[in-house]
Structure 1
Amino acid sequence: MLGVELVAARLLAGGDLSPVAALSLADGRRVIAKGGPAPQIEARMLRALGTAGARVPAVLAACEDCLVMEALPDQGALAASGWAELGTMLSALHDAPPSDPGFVRITPYGWVEDYAFGPVAIPNAPLSDWSSFWGERRLLPAQPFLPVDLARRIDGLAGQLPDRLPACPAPALLHGDLWAGNVLASGGRLSGLIDPASYYGDGEVDLAMLHLFGAPGPEFIAAYGALSPGWETRRAIYQLWPALVHVRLFGAGYHGMVAGLLDRLGV
């Protein structure tokens, strides 16, 4: 794909849903090759994020089976200054004008293509109402994979979303899978973001995901900026989707996480 001889290849850990390898090329470069459900769609997401100002790996080549991209430094965790960098960058990303303003003007929430986390489909068909998008595209598709009681509670919450979520938040370009494992660091500084599942939606979705399995430091919160009142309730609603994805990927061990979030919401 790159027209350069391959010198060595090494599989990397962490590719639970898509095989990932570090490649050494004859011209001295080290690049990353990744499979997955839709490498060309991921390439378009990375390019959109980069155009909007996010620090992401440059796409070098993409075909139906493989994405080849720049290898970002990945050594250690973020220090306080790195968390501040991430907060500043994410705030700017969420405030950036859309790369396709015509799409956002007509149907502001969603993406032009569906995607997937491994075997779990991510429907992205655009809708003009945000609470409808979150209910129909994110929460309700999980119902067939849940016990009856949890499925009923998800259905009940979906009916309440018009009263719990803003109808028309500013459409932000989301990373879409922003957990700590997709934030790369080197020397405590931010290297960049990988493995997007992007679409346009409420910027608080990325923050909810980032807080699901950990807590960014106060430097991140200060750098990102204040959130609108009611963010605590919205965060629990937004965290339900990754929790539901984990149920489908990894099984009933995540039923408790889903139930706990619904408990917090009083559903």
Structure 2
Amino acid sequence: MLTGVQPDRIQRLYGGDLSEVLLLQRGDGQAVVAKGGPSAGTEAQMLRELAAAGVPVPAVEAEYGDVLLIEYVEADEAFTPRAWADIGAQVRALHRHLGDSYGWPVDYSFGSVRLDNKPGEDWPSFWGEQRLVETAGLLDRPWRERVERLAGRIDDLLPKRPPASLLHGDLWAGNMLLMDGRLAAFIDPACYYGHCEVDLAMICLFGRPDAAFWDAYGPLEPGWEQRRPIYQLFPALVHLRLFGASYAPLVERLLATARA
């Protein structure tokens, strides 16, 4: 076998909606996580970039074609105020790591949903075209037209050139591992450089961070409340494409809030 681990010492981990994730127990007692998928090398580079920014992530052990081996990080999943404060401080540290342009050196994907990461200098154009219009392109015509209308006036809705922060790109509670009241690791990144509010909008899409998170993260720029649904619309469109009509009400609500 590739990893030298016998089948009876392999356990499927919770999650893995878009890729297979296995826990491998080696004979020496060491555990390692194996992830399968066509973008193993890209995810490895993202994890290294996050580590270089000083935030906790699993260490990359090896890449074998479509298989990525990473450190197994123990977690207790206790989202206490103390843990939320640590998450807030770590996300702020992540967002202080800046790039020269928006995007990423290579494209990425959430399952069948391709992410156009071509670097650009104009943030509203990047978000409107490479995130919203691109993602809505395979949806039914009424969805597409509403998204296109929103993108057509996005220059008036988003800042022209906010700092290009390093983003996790899929920052929700399921991609945070906690242990003893601290953040043990961020996992499953979909990194690129962009407006920091993208990560903050995602973390609020399927949950509500404790007040300790916001206290630790620090103040936000004026107008963030109006921008949030525009940033949440992208992951909502991704979920609609990947998982079907159960996410249609979410997309409808966000489009209505953004007046699209």
CA offsets 1:7-53 (integer angstroms, 9 cap, x no match) = 52111121111000001112321110001230000000000000001
Q: Secondary structure at the match of 1:60?
A: strand
Q: TM-score, normalised by structure 2?
A: 0.95
Q: Which amino acid aligns with 2:137?
A: P
Taking the aligned partners of 1:97 and 1:137, their CA distance within structure 2 comes to: 20
Matched residues in 2 for 1:117 and 1:192: separation?
A: 20
- When normalised by structure 1's length, the TM-score is 0.93
Quote the Cα distance in structure 2 between the aligned partners of 1:199 and 1:9: 32
Q: Does 1:239 align with 2:232?
A: yes
Residue aligning to 1:229? 222
Alignment counterpart, residue 168 of structure 2, candidates 152, 167, 175: 175
In the TM superposition, 1:92-103 aligns within 5 A as 92-98=93-99
Q: Secondary structure at the match of 1:185?
A: strand
The CA distance in 1 between the partners of 2:4 and 2:117, in whole Å, is 38
- 1:218 counterpart = 2:211: yes
**Match for residue 54 of structure 1?**
55
Per-residue deviation at 1:143?
A: 2.9
SS in 2 for 1:125: coil
For residue 74 of structure 1, what is the aligned residue in structure 2? 75
Q: Which residue does 2:36 correspond to in 1?
A: 35
Give the SS at the match of 2:95. Answer: helix
1:249 to 234, 242, 250: 242
Checking the alignment, whether the CA contact within 8 Å between 1:37 and 1:118 is kept in structure 2 is no
Please say which of residues 251-260 and 50-59 is displaced more in the overlay. Answer: 251-260
- Aligned residue in 2 for 1:90: 91
Relative distance call for 1:244 and 1:97 in structure 2 (3 A) is: closer
- Counterpart for residue 9 of structure 1: 10
Partner of residue 159, structure 2: 166
Q: Is the 8 A contact 1:75 1:185 kept in 2?
A: yes
> What amino acid is aligned across from residue 217 of structure 1 in structure 2?
D
Q: Contact between 1:77 and 1:184, CA under 8 Å: does it hold in 2?
A: no
Amino acid at match of 2:135: A
- Letter paired with 1:248: R
Paired residue type of 1:6 = V
2:247 and 2:106 map into 1 onto residues whose CA distance is 28
The correspondence for 2:143, drawn from 147, 150, 154, is 150
**Aligned equivalents of 2:186 and 2:206: distance in 1?**
17
Cα deviation digits, residues 80-112 of structure 1 (max 9, x gap): 1110001001101101244xxxxx2xxx00000
How far apart, CA to CA, are the structure 2 residues paired with 1:125 and 1:6?
A: 39
Query: Take 1:92 and 1:74, find their aligned partners in 2: how far apart are those partners?
Result: 21
Give the equivalent residue in structure 2 for 1:101.
none
Task: Tell me the secondary structure at the aligned position of residue 176 of structure 1.
Answer: coil
Q: CA deviation at 1:142?
A: 2.7
Q: Provide the C-alpha distance between the structure 2 equivalents of 1:265 and 1:118, rounded to a whole number of angstroms.
A: 27
Q: Contact 1:110/1:199 (CA < 8 Å) preserved in 2? A: yes
Which of 110, 131, 140 is residue 138 of structure 1 equivalent to?
Answer: 131
Corresponding residue pairs, total: 258
Q: Give the partner amino acid of 2:31.
A: R
RMSD: 1.5
CA distance in 2, matches of 1:141, 1:58: 32
User: What is the alpha-carbon distance in structure 2 between the residues aligned to residue 78 and residue 62 of structure 1?
Assistant: 32
AA aligned to 1:36 is G
**Rounded Cα–Cα distance in structure 1 between residues aligned with 2:138 and 2:240:** 8
Q: Is 1:37–1:116's contact at 8 Å kept on the other side of the alignment? A: no
